[in-house]
């Protein structure tokens, strides 16, 4: 589903602020909801006629709970619309870290369905584009779990870099702030590292630069697929992201600054276990991920627009085995990867339903 279609939908919302919570997810879902409420109301009325106030009260509580759930769902749709197309200056405020095309956009554009479980709590489902015939399902409280919204991360980093440039001519004096301490705080604040690893910061992608610098190690397998997974750059267990951004600031202050080594992980500081044994399904700040993503063989094809990136081959690590030297190609490659590999945790949910 194209970004253009999604933006057009949210720019011309077919529902007003006064629309009922049951009316904003398409006619089919509205009918499902109405049928459920009508059934509960009829049972409530029957219990009241029989003088069974206890049973009637239970039906009344369920009706009110469904109404509350639907109000919450409406509020989330409104929040999504603001972040997707109505944010600052009309920009999409979602980080590339968030895979919106897997669930959010299909559901909010009325391409999903609403059902109810045995406790009459709403279950929201959309077709799984990667597994025809299967669905991806979520509960209302799970929808925003993996949303990453961009904030002041880039502005904060750029301010540090500008401060470093301003102090460049102060001969013999060090920077008036601790770069490593500042970068460490910046990456850890509200999991901002997810933005730094996935989005353009100061006109540059971290992953683009990383791939270009380490192309030979990637081709040889020294840097394997797990070490390219965005979650593997979590600064809690890895220093590559920290080294990259701290070096950019240090070079702004001292153009001759040279880091002693590449920001590729070294065997002595990044054990193999760090990328092979991390349980990406645990909610420990890494974000739930059920499986290792093979970026070499399964990187997404960009199917929209004139530039189409084919599957990335290990031979040369480039589309159509071309020499990997072009930064524009690297940028497209990063965009493709970002769109391909995020938020696959819902496969686990789908498997549980079977």
pLDDT digits (tens, 9 = 90+) for 126-167: 999 899 899 999 999 999 999 999 999 999 999 999 999 999
pLDDT class of 287 with cuts at 50, 70, 90? very low
> What percent of the chain has a predicted confidence (pLDDT) above 90?
58
Contact between 124 and 139 under an 8 Å Cβ cutoff? The reply is yes
Lowest mean pLDDT among 39-43, 65-69, 172-176, 267-271: 267-271
Q: What per-residue confidence (pLDDT) applies to 318?
A: 36
Contact between 198 and 230 under an 8 Å Cβ cutoff? The reply is yes
Q: What per-residue confidence (pLDDT) applies to 132?
A: 86
Q: What per-residue confidence (pLDDT) applies to 89?
A: 59
pLDDT beyond 90 at 9: no
Domain boundaries, the chain: 3-142, 153-353
Average pLDDT over residues 231-241: 95
Average pLDDT over residues 276-299: 35
Return the CA Rg of the chain: 24
Q: How many CA atoms lie within 13 A of 205 on its CB side?
A: 24
Q: What per-residue confidence (pLDDT) applies to 347?
A: 47
pLDDT beyond 50 at 77: yes
pLDDT digits (tens, 9 = 90+) for 292-335: 333 333 333 222 332 332 333 233 333 333 333 344 444 455 44
pLDDT class of 246 with cuts at 50, 70, 90? very high
Q: What per-residue confidence (pLDDT) applies to 240?
A: 96
Phi, psi of 307 (to 5 degrees): -90, 120
pLDDT beyond 80 at 192: yes
Q: What per-residue confidence (pLDDT) applies to 339?
A: 46
Contact between 213 and 223 under an 8 Å Cβ cutoff? The reply is no
pLDDT class of 8 with cuts at 50, 70, 90? confident
pLDDT class of 65 with cuts at 50, 70, 90? very high
pLDDT beyond 70 at 336: no
| Tokens representing residue 180 in the block | 């490593």
Q: Which of 127, 141, 136, 150 is nearest to 1 (CA)?
A: 127
| Tokens representing residue 103 in the block | 């669930």
pTM above 0.75, yes or no: no
Query: Quick one: how many helices (H) and strands (E) in the chain?
Result: 14, 5
Of residues 277 and 169, the one with the higher pLDDT is 169
């Amino acid at each position: 589903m194209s970004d253009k279609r999604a933006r057009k939908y949210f720019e011309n919302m077919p529902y007003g602020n006064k629309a009922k919570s049951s009316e904003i997810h398409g006619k089919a879902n509205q009918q499902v909801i109405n049928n459920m409420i009508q059934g509960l109301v009829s049972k409530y009325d029957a219990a009241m006629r029989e003088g069974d106030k206890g049973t009637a009260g239970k039906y009344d509580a369920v009706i009110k709970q469904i109404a509350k759930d639907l109000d919450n769902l409406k509020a989330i749709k409104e929040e999504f619309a603001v972040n997707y197309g109505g944010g600052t200056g009309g920009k999409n405020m979602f980080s590339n870290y968030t895979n919106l095309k897997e669930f959010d956009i299909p559901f909010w554009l009325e391409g999903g369905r609403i059902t109810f479980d045995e406790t009459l709590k709403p279950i929201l489902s959309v077709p799984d584009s990667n597994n025809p015939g299967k669905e991806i399902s979520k509960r209302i409280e799970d929808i925003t779990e993996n949303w990453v919204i961009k904030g002041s991360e880039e502005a904060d980093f750029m301010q540090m870099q500008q401060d470093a440039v301003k102090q460049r001519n102060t001969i013999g004096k060090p920077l008036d702030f601790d770069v490593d301490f500042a970068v460490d705080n910046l990456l850890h604040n509200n999991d901002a590292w997810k933005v730094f690893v996935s989005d353009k910061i100061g006109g540059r992608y971290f992953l683009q630069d990383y791939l270009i610098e380490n192309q030979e190690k990637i081709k040889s397998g020294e840097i394997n697929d797990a070490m390219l997974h965005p979650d593997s750059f979590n600064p809690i267990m890895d220093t590559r992201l920290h080294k990259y951004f701290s070096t950019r600031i240090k070079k702004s202050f001292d153009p001759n600054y040279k880091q002693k080594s590449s920001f590729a992980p070294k065997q002595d500081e990044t054990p193999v276990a760090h990328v092979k044994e991390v349980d990406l399904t645990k909610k420990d700040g890494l974000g739930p991920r059920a499986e290792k993503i093979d970026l070499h063989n399964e990187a997404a094809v960009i199917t929209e627009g004139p530039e189409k990136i084919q599957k990335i081959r290990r031979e040369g690590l480039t589309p159509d085995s071309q020499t990997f030297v072009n930064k524009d190609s690297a940028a497209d490659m990063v965009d493709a990867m970002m769109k391909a590999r995020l938020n696959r945790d819902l496969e686990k949910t789908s498997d549980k339903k079977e």
